[in-house]
Amino acid sequence: MLKRIAAEGTRERKLRLACLGLMAAVVWVMTGLWLPVLWLPIYFGLLEVNVRLTLALSDRVDGWRLAGLAAMLMADSLVYLAMATYLAAQPGMMFRVLALFMLAGYMLNATTEHCEAPLLAAVDIAAVGLAMAALPFVAAPGLDGARLVVVAAGAAMLWVYFTLSVISTMRARRRLRASLAALTEAKVAETIGRLTGGLARDFGGRVATTLGFLDSAVAARDDETRVELLRQAHREATSCAALTGQLVAFAGRAQLRPVALDIVAFLHEVRPRLRRLVPPSVAIEVQPGSTARMVLLDRRQLETVLAELVENARDAMDTSGTIRLVTADLDLAEPTERIGRAPLPPGRFLKLSVIDTGSGIPEPLLGQVQEPFFTTKSGRSAHGLGLSMAKG
């Protein structure tokens, strides 16, 4: 959990650097106070060290190493809150407001992503407690007696409320994770049920048909009938092999033979073969929109995926329309989530889209269309493996 939070927090850390850097620059220009400018690289240097230490953690961490990381995280938090306390001690309302903003930002961050990890939550609670204990004396040094008690009591109540909020959010996130895990298990069970049912229906039916043709061929009295029955058996056996290949592709375990090829030239090459899958009233267009053309992939698998997607696009249109094969550049600065797959790492990619002018997929079915043996079509040829194989 700690490693995931550290890896996914790159954007938040960049935003934090921008906000604090702007604040330090404005304070320096307006008041000549240079300490925030000096503090900035120290704080973010310590923050970067903690991120690297967290990412370097192994799956099984001993107590001493975890205690060392907790100490480093506490030092990082205290350096941040020390600047908030320092600003609160400066004369003028502007500094107190900036200190309040820094404290509020820290507390908001503590009640969001940090609640995923108990170690981070414990560090945040302790660090905010120390800051709350110091702020009444630093921000209002002239207070004494009853006024100081009131301010200190208010700070204590705010810390208690913050602590309860962190604990409550942590429990809510745990319940949410448990619910999502249960939902995932139910989804897996449903998918397995559909998979076994589809196999029993489609694969079993084709095997039974193949055996029927073979039995008839054995009993046939003339060679012409026997040859025709064997052809039918071979056709059904080939369908079983294709079905098996699609199931392997759905599982993401297809044996790939990637080669370097020009994607635009490849699309123009396979377009005539894809053209045979659609009626004359449906046009297939290749629209290159990417600056990059050379890719490394399996030609046969890509052509199979394109054929499945074109057939799905054909079935989505009534009588006529257009299917477009569009390429586009895809530059990712951060990891990008993918449904049912590992996140796509940062880098430069080429995106290939199959776009049709059909009616589209009804919204209630969007979560099911990539599951095996799910289909809205009727008939024996509609096995419901096209999109699931393309996904795999």
pLDDT tens sequence across 61-81: 667 777 887 888 888 888 988
Report yes or no on 278 lying in a domain: yes
Statement to judge: residues 339 and 266 lie in one domain: yes
Of 250, 274, 302, which closes a domain?
250
Statement to judge: residues 242 and 345 lie in one domain: no
What pLDDT score does 22 carry?
A: 92
What pLDDT score does 25 carry?
A: 92
Statement to judge: residues 133 and 211 lie in one domain: no
| Sequence-separated (6 or more) residues with CB below 8 Å from residue 51 | 6, 9, 13
Statement to judge: residues 11 and 107 lie in one domain: yes
292 token code pair: 């990059």
Statement to judge: residues 28 and 77 lie in one domain: yes
Report yes or no on 112 lying in a domain: yes
Q: Which domain holds residue 232?
A: 188-250
| Sequence-separated (6 or more) residues with CB below 8 Å from residue 245 | 254
pTM of the model: 0.49
Hey, what amino acid is at 165?
S
What pLDDT score does 379 carry?
A: 47
- Rounded to an integer, what distance in angstroms lies between the CA atom of residue 39 and that of residue 160? 29
Look up the CATH number of the domain holding residue 269. 3.30.565.10
Statement to judge: residues 127 and 47 lie in one domain: yes
Statement to judge: residues 17 and 57 lie in one domain: yes
The CA distances from residue 201 to 193, 204, 238, 357, 380, in Å, are 12, 6, 17, 32, 10
Number of domains forming the structure of the chain: 3
Residue with tokens 């002018």: 357
Statement to judge: residues 273 and 328 lie in one domain: yes
The one-character DSSP state at 377 is -
Cβ pair 367, 388 in contact under 8 A: no
Regions of the chain with pLDDT less than 50: 378-382, 384-385, 392
What pLDDT score does 38 carry?
A: 92
Statement to judge: residues 353 and 278 lie in one domain: yes
Give the H/E segment covering residue 325: strand 321-332
Of 124, 141, 158, which closes a domain?
141
Cβ pair 109, 123 in contact under 8 A: no
Report yes or no on 180 lying in a domain: no
What pLDDT score does 247 carry?
A: 62
What pLDDT score does 52 carry?
A: 84
